[in-house]
Amino acid sequence: MAKQPRSELRRDGDRTEQVSEKIRKRLFIKTYGCQMNVYDSARMTDVLAPLGYQVVDSPRGADMVILNTCHIREKAAEKVFSELGRLRAFKQERRDQGGDMLLAVAGCVAQAEGEEILRRAPQVDIVFGPQTYHRLPEMVARAARAADGRGVLDIDFPVDSKFDHLPEEAAAPGPAAFVSVQEGCDKFCSFCVVPYTRGAEYSRPAAAVIAEARRLVAAGVREITLLGQNVNAYHGEAPGGTPNGTGGGTWGLGRLIRALAEIDGLERLRYTTSHPRDMDDELIAAHGEEEKLMPYLHLPVQSGSDRILAAMNRRHTAADYLRIVERLRQARPDLALSSDFIVGFPGESDRDFADTLKLIQDVGFAQAYSFKYSPRPGTPAAVEDSQLAEPVKAERLAGLQQLLGAQALAFNAACVGRDLPVLLERPGRKAGQLVGRSPFMQSVHVGVPEVAMARLAGRILPVRIDSAHPNSLAGSLLVDDAPQAAAGGRTMARITA
């Protein structure tokens, strides 16, 4: 790679920016898909930092661009190839200026397409999967040396986990952070690429997770979301390797949550994404007993029809799901539920679809994600004969989203007039606005005086909810002006300055 000037003026569109001497190499990462990819992108930044790479917010003029891709739905690979076409022009521009731009494709499309990416997009220098990014420095060195212009490909599933090789997180976290605790999936739902792109289930040792959480809290983090493709299948080695009597030396997610909740300064815990099969007693009990575990759970059901659930290889029925929800609500009555739904799975009849609508009505979701079934190459459902026509899928999706949208709005509307503790995370789009999350995971927009923005960001403060929208709430900040008020409770006053 060409040597970089130590300091220069760079023009990005109409923006001219002084690039500081410290930014020796500019790294642009575009992240698609799930929160796991967001986490992975942050860790790639950590891995590349010792090589002098710092993150910039535009691919133009960058020394390295990584597309961290998602393969879960739709024409993921095609989207990546068209993005690579656009980036080719920027790479050429860099070369014309006497520099170069390393172009890398990461994530699940890289894992699934591998060599094909290098063949179809020869401008790509590096292709690597979700399990090998700890080797990025080596890949960068190999790509820089590659005189023949051939790209570097590393899509192994290494025997030793990348977590054993990753550096401690370098990037300054915000008040809410992710910690990856589990990866991969052995469930093989018949529609899903994850078991093929992310590999077999792996759980990080509990001690490593706790140490990472402690470091984050020491750096100011108040809320941690534990991540995993199948996070409640977590079965990490117990600290000190001592058997805990129930798991033969491993901890389940419920036990891990209890240990994390003991960290002083950590106020909130969440986890995502879970599978109904792995909602065990300890985890359900944690929802009732552990105050720091927020009353929100994303628990994908996918369908309300037992016939379709069996064809999906979900290994649970609609009644199983309803029973789990009932137990969770017994433990934590105010639990807000979210889910994923797929409509138009091969062979789905009107009746199957009606069963899904019925389940939604029975549960009542606070929020949900819904998708048209999209055949993924290499998955069993993709080769079923009974694929549904596009207009049928579209019509069912519209019907499903209408119902889910109405439930979400009703849930949000029921919050109007309540005082909710909100973790104020970042400035909103409008001036004088902070955006945060309620315990139920709703986005809350809060008007605050400009002068107080910096002081208030990162704190959990009571907010009076004034209005509800389909995907968010708006409210005003309250100060607790009489914490000792008598039995009648606390009185709140709106902050005005």
Q: What is the sign, positive or negative, of the torsion defined by CA atoms of 390, 391, 394, 395?
A: negative
Q: Which stretch binds ligand 5AD (CB under 6 A): 15-23, 258-266, 371-379, 427-435?
A: 371-379
DSSP string, 264-321: TT--EEEEE---GGG--HHHHHHHHH-TTB-SEEE---B-S-HHHHHHTT----HHHH
Residue 353 touching ligand 5AD (CB under 6 A):
no
Using the rule CB under 6 A, which residue among 47, 67, 155, 342 binds ligand 5AD? 342
Whether the Cβ atoms of residue 366 and residue 337 lie closer than 8 Å to each other: yes
What do you get for the CA distance between the two ends of the chain, in Å? 53
Residue 340 touching ligand 5AD (CB under 6 A):
yes
Number of residues interacting with ligand 5AD: please give it, by CB under 6 A: 12
Instruction: Name which of ligand SF4, ligand 5AD, none residue 342 binds, using a CB cut-off of 5 to 8 Å depending on partner kind.
Output: ligand 5AD
Neighbours of 426 (CB within 10 A): 14
Among 388, 408, 410, 390, which residue's Cα sits nearest to residue 400? 408
Instruction: Name which of ligand 5AD, ligand SF4, none residue 373 binds, using a CB cut-off of 5 to 8 Å depending on partner kind.
Output: ligand 5AD
Distance of CA 226 to the CA centre of its chain: 10
Instruction: Name which of ligand 5AD, ligand SF4, none residue 230 binds, using a CB cut-off of 5 to 8 Å depending on partner kind.
Output: ligand SF4
- With H, G, I as helix, E, B as strand and everything else as coil, classify residue 495: coil
Using the rule CB under 6 A, which residue among 202, 373, 411, 440 binds ligand 5AD? 373
- Burial (CB < 10 A; 0-12, 13-18, 19+), residue 52, is middle
Q: Quick one: 72 or 293, whose CB is closer to ligand 5AD?
A: 72
Q: In the numeric block, which tokens belong to residue 422? A: 């909100």
Site map 288..317 versus ligand 5AD, x via CB under 6 A = ------------x-x---------------
Segment 42 to 81, residues that bind ligand 5AD, using CB under 6 A:
72-73
CA dist., res. 125 & res. 149, Å (int): 8
Q: In the numeric block, which tokens belong to residue 484? A: 């000792």
Residue 91 touching ligand SF4 (CB under 6 A):
no
Q: Report the residue number whose CB is nearest to ligand 5AD.
A: 340
- Helix then strand then coil, % of the chain, to nearest 5: 35, 25, 40
Q: Which stretch binds ligand SF4 (CB under 6 A): 8-16, 186-194, 244-252, 291-299?
A: 186-194
Which pairs with CB-CB distance under 8 Å and at least 24 residues apart come from 327-330? 327/279, 327/284, 328/279, 328/284, 328/287, 328/297, 330/288
- Beta bridge pairs of residue 100: none
Query: Considering the complex, what minimum distance in angstroms separates the CB of residue 301 from ligand 5AD?
Result: 9
Residue type, 400: L
Using the rule CB under 6 A, which residue among 195, 228, 236, 252 binds ligand SF4? 195
Using the rule CB under 6 A, which residue among 275, 287, 298, 332 binds ligand SF4? 275
Query: Considering the complex, what minimum distance in angstroms separates the CB of residue 384 from ligand 5AD?
Result: 12
Segment 312 to 331, residues that bind ligand SF4, using CB under 6 A:
none
Query: Considering the complex, what minimum distance in angstroms separates the CB of residue 314 from ligand SF4?
Result: 7
Site map 172..191 versus ligand 5AD, x via CB under 6 A = -------------------x
CA dist., res. 114 & res. 108, Å (int): 10
Q: Quick one: 294 or 342, whose CB is closer to ligand SF4?
A: 342
343 vs 80, 350, 393, 408, CA distance in Å? 25, 11, 6, 19
Using the rule CB under 6 A, which residue among 36, 108, 140, 189 binds ligand SF4? 189
Q: Which stretch binds ligand 5AD (CB under 6 A): 317-325, 366-374, 385-393, 458-466?
A: 366-374
Using the rule CB under 6 A, which residue among 371, 408, 439, 442 binds ligand 5AD? 371
Q: Which stretch binds ligand 5AD (CB under 6 A): 149-157, 163-171, 249-257, 368-376?
A: 368-376
Q: Residue numbers of the site for ligand 5AD (CB under 6 A)?
A: 72-73, 191-192, 300, 302, 340, 342, 371, 373-374, 376
Q: Residue numbers of the site for ligand SF4 (CB under 6 A)?
A: 185, 187-189, 192, 194-195, 229-230, 275
